[in-house]
Amino acid sequence: MSETLGKINHSQFEDFLKHRCGKQRDEVRVGSEFGVDVSVVDLHGGKSIALTSDPLSLIPSLGLEESAWLSVHLMANDMATTGFAPMFGQFVLNLPAQLSKNDFEIYWNYIHQFCKDIGVSITGGHTGFIEGQNSTIAGGGTFITIAPKEDILVSKYAKPGDTILVTKTSALSSAAILAMSFPETVKNKVGKEFYYSATASFYETSSLKDALIAVQSKDSGVTAMHDVTEGGVLGAIYELVIASGNGAEIFNEKLPIGEVQSAVCNLFSLDPRYCIGAGSMIITCKKEKASEIISRLKANHIACT
């Protein structure tokens, strides 16, 4: 058993997994790398296929709709770092035996609808019910897209001298899920207004729109993107730095921390900079393009710092 929970760290990846990834094939341009959200395989005709995989969520205390949203959009956020939306999806569901037929149908209808909303065709997978399966991780999924080879971004493409931008706020998903999981505590300690603001922000945990708008212009100046998950905003920047082989200068006072997110995280003695922040996107860009990207995002009602 691992000494730590959650994703394995950089040294564990480098020491064991990195050199045990099956046969090396020339078509694999970007394989399994720490801090890189997607893999890229080159095809004929100047196209490449990008793939990303993530666990699927089924969290009864959060809700079936909310669990389905996380399952779809956490994978979509990873794919968004390429600058393209996902096109195809594979779902492997290992469901708890006690999940009722009605609840399964509700959950899957939401998976179907959320995929449809972002243009994903579900092309297959596996569905089964497992005795003794009590985890909130209900399997795994893979999203796939095909795009022009030269246009696909990955986090390792960040360059020295780039400006680092962050969309929305730190701890976006953490504050939302904490408020939804402990409603009375949050209402009583930080107030109903903050509670309702935090819970309402749950459906802002998609960063697909952030990414697509950032690269919207032909010469966007965006060099790389990385979505904010475990480890928060600072963890995401660290992973991007490792992936690209660069360093980073971070101005703590410039990190975006919303008033609501700060209050909810402080209530649970958490530092918002390190909290899971799905919905926020780290963007690196040419320095002279930063203002243009910020303006484009703000014109679409997406905060960017």
Residue 113's domain is classified under what CATH number?
A: 3.30.1330.10
CA 143/CA 121 separation, integer angstroms: 10
Same domain, 132 and 161: no
Residue 3 scores a pLDDT above 80: no
Q: What phi-psi label fits residue 25: left (phi over 0), alpha (psi between -120 and 50 degrees) or beta?
A: beta
Identity of the residue numbered 11: S
CB 88 within 8 A of CB 120: yes
Which candidate, 113, 97, 83, places its Cα nearest to that of 217? 83
Residue 47 lies in a domain: yes
Q: Do residue 243 and residue 278 come from a single domain?
A: yes
Indicate if 53 and 82 belong to the same structural domain: yes
Helix or strand or coil: residue 99?
coil
Task: Evaluate if residue 1 carries a pLDDT over 50.
Answer: no
The reply to whether 60 falls in a domain is: yes
User: Mean pLDDT for the chain?
Assistant: 96
The residue type of 268 is: F
Report yes or no on 49 lying in a domain.
yes
- Total domains in the fold of the chain: 2
Same-domain status, 168 and 295? yes
CATH classification at residue 170? 3.90.650.10
* Total-model pTM: 0.95
Q: Are 144 and 176 in a shared domain?
A: no
In a domain, 104, yes or no: yes
Contact 283, 165 (CB under 8 A): yes
Would you place residue 142 in the very low, low, confident or very high pLDDT band (cuts 50, 70, 90)?
very high
Note whether residue 14 is domain-resident.
no
Last residue of a domain, one of 134, 151, 168: 151
Does 140 share its domain with 159? no
pLDDT over 90 at 2, yes or no:
no
What tens digit of pLDDT does each residue of 217-228 get?
889 999 999 999
Same domain, 161 and 295: yes
In three state form, how does the secondary structure of 270-305 look? CCHHHCCCCCCEEEEECHHHHHHHHHHHHHCCCCEC
159 and 144 in one domain? Answer: no
Q: What is the pLDDT of residues 240-290, one digit of tens each?
A: 999 999 999 999 999 999 999 999 999 999 999 999 999 999 999 999 999
Same domain for 295 and 179: yes
Q: Which residues of 251-271 are buried (b: 16+ CB within 10 A; e: fewer)?
A: eeeebbbbebbbbbbebeebe
Pick the range with the lowest mean pLDDT from 36-40, 41-45, 214-218: 214-218
Residue 159 in contact with residue 223, Cβ under 8 Å?
yes
Asked if 142 and 166 sit in the same domain, the reply is no
Give residue 270's domain range. 155-299
Residues recorded for the chain: 305
Do 26 and 108 reside in the same domain of the chain?
yes
Given 151, 173, 201, the domain boundary residue is 151
Same domain, residue pair 104 and 185: no
Q: How far apart are CA 66 and CA 63, in angstroms?
A: 5
In a domain, 216, yes or no: yes
3: in domain:
no
